[in-house]
Structure 1
Amino acid sequence: MNPSSPEGLAQTGEVDTRGAQRTSPSGSVARFLAWTALGLGMMILSAGLAWSIRGGMEPPSPAPESAPVANVVPPPDQKSVLFKKGRLTYQVHCTRCHGPEGRGDGPDAAVLRPPPRDFAARPWTHGETTEAIRTVILQGIPGTAMTGWSHLLSSQELDAVVDYVRSLGAPPREIKVSDTPTTLLRQAGFEPIEPAIAASPLTFEGLDGRKRTLDQEQGKAILLVFWGTTCAPCMEELPSLDRLASEFAHAPLAVLPICIDEADDALVREVERTRTRQLPLLVDRTGLARIQYDVQSIPYAVLIDSEGRQIGRAQGCKDWSTEAVRELLRTVTSRSANSE
């Protein structure tokens, strides 16, 4: 049989009866592998395409961030809160007497006896510590318009107003080495008494007839001013002496203007009415003051410290409102207060 004839080809398996070429076993395997690879490639391509589409539709994951910082509002400054509360409490209860800045110039101050304290003036009679101020606020000051507030203030309000009152006072002045009694006495127009000598006993009367002695002012500094109703310079200086006494009303200082030339109380009362506003005038009934304090002429002043010693004398009319006089008395009374 001819291999090239159709019958021969059919028998050899190289061409089927329909004339189509038949695949050899090795070609089938190759095609199977090709189709398998193509299928796998298509699957991978489909999976990749699906992943890309899904990734494009979903928002990207946020980049890691640090923990968010909380928006915390800091608490108000406690000191500032207390200061405002103290100022408000002071304005409600104190300004009518002491004034808005604590200068003793409130609308009611003119009619008060003794006048309200000027917190800037030194020294403070009852002390400047927190406890001293607290005690005055709670208990008041007998004989004055300052009544106790224990029923008006809460504990927090009390603490706040104590701190506020302290803030109104100027810081205590530091006494310099140069501010010795001798220096200050001379600057204020006094002649220093060196060495200091004990104050002589002295009895005098008020216009109410009550007798008084220097011993009753023990522990205070004393300013004795001897004057007379027929003395023109005495009349001239009494108003400034009155203002000085008012300024130091709360200090450990006794201002004692003693008339030594007039027994007529009516005339002394007239001088008191016209020359002073709140300083009571006194009278020496014994006639011994001139001798005890060696008064050669009037007006004549003697300054006595808290230990009962004469430390300075001044003769002639003085302006008691000068800063030099105030500085001397602030120093002397400050030392009196510190010795208590």
Structure 2
Amino acid sequence: MKFKKFVTRKFVKIAGLFLILILFSGCLPIQPPNNQAKLAEDFTLPALEGGYFTLSEHFGQPILLYFFSTTCHYCQEETPNLVKMYNTYQSAGLLVVGVAVNVNSLQELRNFVENYGITYPILIDEDEEVSESYDVYYIPHNFFINRDGEIVDDKVGLMSEAELEEQILDIL
């Protein structure tokens, strides 16, 4: 008899929890679908070569916004592919923009740019405000922005050349 009471109480508790979950599930925030684009947040950062770069001034062309660090192994591995993609698709309007985070020294950043033959703009996010506004917690982190200034996709971690090219073709 005790066993039956125990099982009945357990069942009632579990059923009650289920009911509560069902009732309150309508209160949970609804996540937008992953394929829904949102406007890229505008920012202005200093460029390594001098002057300032404002993202919104480049809306109208496809942009690959790339957050990286010179000391990140995966960033070092991905950079040659980015250089290749930029050189291949620059004539089609592609703009690759590198945003350097965790910069130890400007000379180290210049050496990185020179060693990899980077010709696209490199920006310095010294206070990491832009990284925070884009929710960049891991690098490399790529944002693919279409001609309307909308982020259509973002990828965290090392991307192969083929993966980069596929994403770039989607925004061209």
* Pairwise TM-score range, normalised by the shorter structure: 0.7 to 0.9
- Equivalent of residue 267 in structure 1, options 79, 93, 108: 108
Residue 327 to residue 228, structure 1, CA distance change in 2 (3 Å): closer
The residue correspondences of 1:275-286 to structure 2 (distance < 5 A) are 275-286=116-127
CA RMSD of superposed structures (Å): 1.8
1:332 matched residue in structure 2: 171
Q: Deviations over 1:250-298 (max 9, x none)?
A: 1122111110111521110010111234334321234212211001111
Please identify the structure whose Cα radius of gyration is greater. Answer: 1
Distance 1:329 1:204, change over 3 A: same
What TM-score results when the alignment is normalised by the length of structure 2?
0.74
Code of the residue aligned with 2:152 in structure 1: it is I
8 Å CA contact 1:263–1:283 kept in 2: the answer is no
In structure 1, list runs of 5 or more residues that go unmatched.
1-191, 334-340
Secondary structure (helix, strand or coil) at the match of 1:224 reads: strand
**2:44 aligned with 1:199, yes or no?**
no
Describe the SS at the equivalent of 2:53: strand
Q: Which amino acid aligns with 2:165?
A: R
Shift of the 201–239 alpha-carbon distance from structure 1 to 2, 3 Å rule, reads same
- SS at the partner of 1:248? helix
The equivalent of 1:240 in structure 2 is: 81
Mapped partners of 1:277, 1:296: distance in 2: 24
Counterpart of 1:296 in structure 2 is 137
SS in 2 for 1:194: coil
Question: Any idea what the Cα deviations from partners look like across 1:23-52, whole Å, max 9, x if unmatched?
Answer: xxxxxxxxxxxxxxxxxxxxxxxxxxxxxx
Question: In the alignment, does 2:159 pair up with 1:318?
Answer: yes
Q: What does 1:176-191 correspond to in 2, within 5 Å?
A: none
- In structure 2, stretches of 5+ residues that fail to align are 1-32
Over 3 Å off, 4+ runs: none
| Alignment of structure 1 residues 49-60 onto 2, 5 Å | none
Identity %: 26
Alignment partner of 2:36: what SS? strand
Is residue 2:60 matched to residue 1:209? no
Q: In the alignment, is the contact (CA less than 8 A) between 1:263 and 1:285 conserved in 2?
A: no
Structure possessing the higher relative contact order (Cα contacts under 8 Å, 6 or more residues apart):
2
Task: Give the Å deviation of 1:218.
Answer: 1.6
Number of paired residues? Answer: 140
Report the TM-score, using the length of structure 1 for normalisation: 0.39
- Does the 8 Å contact 2:145/2:171 carry over to 1? no
Instruction: Tell me the equivalent position of 2:30.
Output: none
Superimposed CA distance per residue, residues 281-321 of structure 1 (whole angstroms, 9 cap, x where no aligned partner): 321234212211001111111111111111101011112x2
